Structure 1
């Protein structure tokens, strides 16, 4: 029998604790989904109360994306250095503080700074939970679980969006959306403390003094035999650093995946950030605009689930490439929908279905590309740099709208990101 618990976990059916870890990480990403989109639901009210124009609003909408970029890169590397569990707890505390502080904002500058800080926590959470889910999953379910973890983002956006829409209809105050997020995020802290153990992969890779004790504690909770000694370290020790991502073994895939994620997520956040304002400008109220964004996030969730299930039977890369190209076509249909709430909702949902399928389909590729010592760093770097570039997406869209371009022209211009992403995936080396 092997003395390596990673091999045991990879080759045996999922146990109760593993399912709990995956479910908890999905819930954490659901919080991310709502926390990111809270500003989108609040945007029409902010614009009205503070007299913000579209160009300035685009900057505000982008601030947590810049924070997410910094958090993904920096905190992803921290998770490889100090562990997954303490990193997740730190991110939760920062997110709770940021959501509450947004209710106290008195102007664009203050709100922008708060959203940047909140984004740091969100970005670190995404990269760390992605690694955690991959490391607690067996081989059979790893790809599906990683996809479902990212799909938690859309689940949170849907459920939180429904609540936010009702809150806005009752209170008429955009600050209530952020208060909802603060309370929901705070509730998750004790749940993580109670039910989320440290990753065995991370403990073996980092090898702290109490690694064996902590690994055996988790193995006991999993119902697996304890081990007497740690598995031997790899012949070539990989330092958890950004520089390691650009060594001979990883440089090419890091560049290609970063470019693909940059382009696709730019497309994704055009839909997520601008739909409420677009719908309001077509003559509908903020509650109806929120309903269209909820429809888009239903499409996001379905796209993630469908590509996750399809990847169990078909090759993932062709599925991802096809989704990216279909998203470009679908956003053109959204641009032609006109001032019809039903058409706007359906075309937004269809476009989001394909665009998000392309996004979440990249995450299992990240998980299989990088070893445990670099998994959070690699995932964090790719999504961090990608989000850092894509944070200009809402700004570019705002500038295009301000210049007088039609909804169709702006939509197709932003949709070009999907075609670029597809080209990058085609260029990946075969594994």
Structure 2
């Protein structure tokens, strides 16, 4: 009987090449993190040059979220049809063009259009990289690999924010987007060199040269070639992937994980978007308020790494639920305010730690809960719906503030999203995916 290369990868130790693929995906997610917040780094310059009011600036800030939602929903499905690698490369092209376009925009309408295009690439990128990193790792390290990939996001915001600060000292806001375009462009040869198409995808699709490509990747991983591929056991379905996600076998996971991601990301984006104005309203100058957000990102990166290390000894589902419960408590604590900047920074870092740990835990749960045939589609659907809903979080908090609610009350209400998410994950207990993937 022919050896199944997927089983070989699952059972063998991780090779240096496989960790290299994981590292490439970490870098791609860091690029996503920078590209998402690049508009925030450039916001003050944009507002001053075009004399934008709060509503106009808010519209520009929301554009990439719309693109990200659409990109996650539709490009995730494309990654299940044309491959993870091809989708990643296509998204890098979109992001490069979008960032260059933003740097050359002559007015706010053109800039908004380029941000939507950039968001399309960012949304599709996460769906594809989540699937690619899960399929490059062995069974023992799969959750850790996905968590490490997700940890790239806050790292990208920290590094990208620091470099943007240096650029803005010498250049105008357009330099932020030029820098992002250069980084996106440089990742294209890196992906071509270090990230072959996943073996799991080739096994599922069986293109004419599947055996040659699989053996080439196995050799790079340090495994012997296989003489033939085992028979196809999962007959391709005629249903489009999004419909397949709501089949009797998958609907429970799709609905519960989508609800969990949507509600938790509302809490997450409340913290990410509202820390600077909240801290400024407490009487601290804007640069120090931005510094508190950096500490939240540092906490987020730490939360990703700690959750990843714990996945070897504690069940991922339990870890993610605990992180979400902690998120609610720490967001509420942040809402109580602190007497000094150091106290605010510590609470923000702790809140970032818990909220980001919950997000990356969800990414890992998505990767292990769906079979290869729909993994990228599932990731795209869950994240697309969640990111689309997350665009409401800053607006909802703003509406509550405008209605006269104090920070303490708003923080309690926004923190409840993570409680609902934890409840959705509790309902996942005992469920197993229909196919290992």
> Could you state the TM-score of these two structures normalised by the residue count of structure 2?
0.93
Q: Aligned equivalents of 1:88 and 1:163: distance in 2?
A: 24
The yes-or-no answer on 1:358 pairing with 2:390 is no
Correspondences of 1:328-367 after superposition (within 5 Å): 328-337=328-337, 340-367=340-367
| 1:3 and 1:231 in contact (8 A); partners too | yes
Q: Given the alignment of the two structures, is residue 102 of structure 1 paired with residue 102 of structure 2, yes or no?
A: yes
After superposition, the Cα gap between the structure-2 partners of 1:346 and 1:56, relative to the gap in structure 1 and judged at 3 Å, is: farther
Specify the alignment match of 1:308 in structure 2.
308
The separation in 1 between residues aligned to 2:151 and 2:319, in whole angstroms, is 16
| 1:410 alignment partner in structure 2 | 410
State the Cα distance separating 1:55 from its structure 2 match. 4.3
Is 2:189 the counterpart of 1:190? yes
Separation (CA, whole Å) in 1 of partners of 2:363 and 2:218: 27
Q: Tell me the distance in 2 between the aligned counterparts of 1:115 and 1:404.
A: 32
Distance (Å, rounded) in 2 between the aligned partners of 1:42 and 1:208? 44
Corresponding residue pairs, total: 430
Query: How far apart are residue 284 of structure 1 and its match?
Result: 4.5
Indicate the residue corresponding to 1:275 in structure 2.
275
What residue number does 2:226 align with?
227
The aligned counterpart of 1:74 is: 74
Structure 1 match to 2:434: none
Which segment is superposed worse, 129-138 or 336-345? 336-345
Which residue in the other structure is 1:207 paired with? 206
The range that moved more, 385-394 or 242-251, is 385-394
Secondary structure at 2:14 match in 1? coil
* Offset of residue 383 of structure 1: 0.8
For residue 51 of structure 1, report the CA deviation from its aligned partner: 4.0
* Paired position in structure 1 for 2:215: 216
Q: For the residues of structure 1 that align with 2:148 and 2:198, how far apart are their CA atoms? A: 19
Seen in structure 2, the aligned counterparts of structure 1 residues 45 and 412 have a Cα distance that, compared at 3 Å, is farther
Judging changes above 3 Å, is the alpha-carbon distance between structure 1 residues 268 and 160 closer, same or farther for their aligned structure 2 residues?
same
> How far apart are the structure 2 equivalents of 1:295 and 1:40?
16
Unaligned runs of 5+ in 2: 432-437
| Counterpart residue number, 1:427 | 427
Counterpart of 1:230 in 2: which secondary structure? coil
After superposition, give the CA deviation of every residue in 1:345-401 in whole Å (9 maximum; x if it has no partner).
222111111111111111221111111111111111111111111122122223333
> What's the RMSD between the two structures over aligned residues?
2.0
| Stretch moving more, 89-98 or 55-64 | 55-64
The answer to whether the 8 Å contact 1:84/1:128 transfers is yes
The residue that corresponds to 2:21 in the other structure is 21
1:107/1:345 Cα in 2 relative to 1: closer, same or farther (>3 Å)?
farther
Task: Specify whether residues 73 and 160 from structure 1 end up closer, same or farther in structure 2 by C-alpha distance, changes over 3 A only.
Answer: same
> Which consecutive unaligned segments of at least 5 residues does structure 1 have?
none
CA distance in structure 2 between the partners assigned to 1:279 and 1:131 by the alignment: 37
Q: 1:21 to 1:274 in 2, by over 3 A?
A: same
Give the direction of change, closer, same or farther, for the CA distance of 1:176–1:274 in structure 2 (3 Å limit). farther
1:177 maps to 176
Contact 2:2 2:229 in 1 (8 A): no
SS class of match (1:246):
coil
Structure 1 window deviating more from structure 2 (177-186 vs 122-131): it is: 177-186
Deviates more, 1:171-180 or 1:27-36: 171-180
Distance across 1 between alignment mates of 2:306 and 2:70: 30
1:79 positional shift: 0.7
For 1:39-50, list aligned pairs within 5 A: 39-50=39-50
